[in-house]
Amino acid sequence: MTSPNILLRPVEERDLELLLAWRNSERIRANMYTDHIITWEEHRSWFERLTRDKESFAFIFEAEGRPLGVVNLNHMDRANNRCHWGFYLGETDAPKGSGTQMAYLALRHVFEELKLHKVIGEALAFNSASIAYHEKLGFSREGQLVEHVFRDGSYLDVICFALLSRDWPRVKASLEKKCL
């Protein structure tokens, strides 16, 4: 999956240390369902499960050969042609527009290569940046899961989003103007 100077490539063993550093940063952990410091053993187990799981994919987003972020596609449901996605830019100094480029490549993969009908996103209700990101990308709000995640002694709401394949041509054209 490539475009001019940007690409998504499968996560490899050589990426594990960088991914763990990103995931354990306070900036990333604060917006995840689980916010504990992930041990090397937990991280390694995740990678081993990922390599065996034919219904989950993790990609490194690179620009100019530099890893900047990660996209996960999981809960792949081939019977209903849908998946969930998760993402983050790990590098704090990623060039402006990197998040849009990363999303463009990931969504193009979902709709044009995997041929799925629907991609589902979720954000903790306090994560205004992720909510705005989904809306900017053309996702529709599908609902709110009330008190869905227990963290730090309290329950947190989750906002649910979706993008359908029928909306992809319009979204694709908009994203191409912004990032290519």
Whole-model pTM? 0.94
* pLDDT tens profile 53-73: 989 999 999 999 999 999 999
Query: What are 142's two structure tokens?
Result: 């599908």
pLDDT exceeds 80 at position 26: yes
Q: Which helix or strand (DSSP H or E) is residue 175 part of?
A: helix 168-179
Is there a contact between 16 and 44 (Cβ–Cβ < 8 Å)?
Answer: yes
Distance from C-alpha of 57 to C-alpha of 147, rounded to nearest angstrom = 28
* pLDDT tens profile 140-177: 999 999 999 999 999 999 999 999 999 999 999 999 99
Burial-class residue 124 by CB neighbours within 10 Å (0-12, 13-18, 19+).
buried
Over the range 75-110, which residues count as b (16 or more CB within 10 Å of their CB) and which as e? ebeeeeebbbbbbbbbbeebeeebbbbbbbbbbbbb
- Domains contained in the chain, CATH given: 2-179 (3.40.630.30)
Query: What are 43's two structure tokens?
Result: 């991280």
What is the predicted pLDDT for the residue at 4?
61
* pLDDT tens profile 100-147: 999 999 999 999 999 999 999 999 999 999 999 999 999 999 999 999
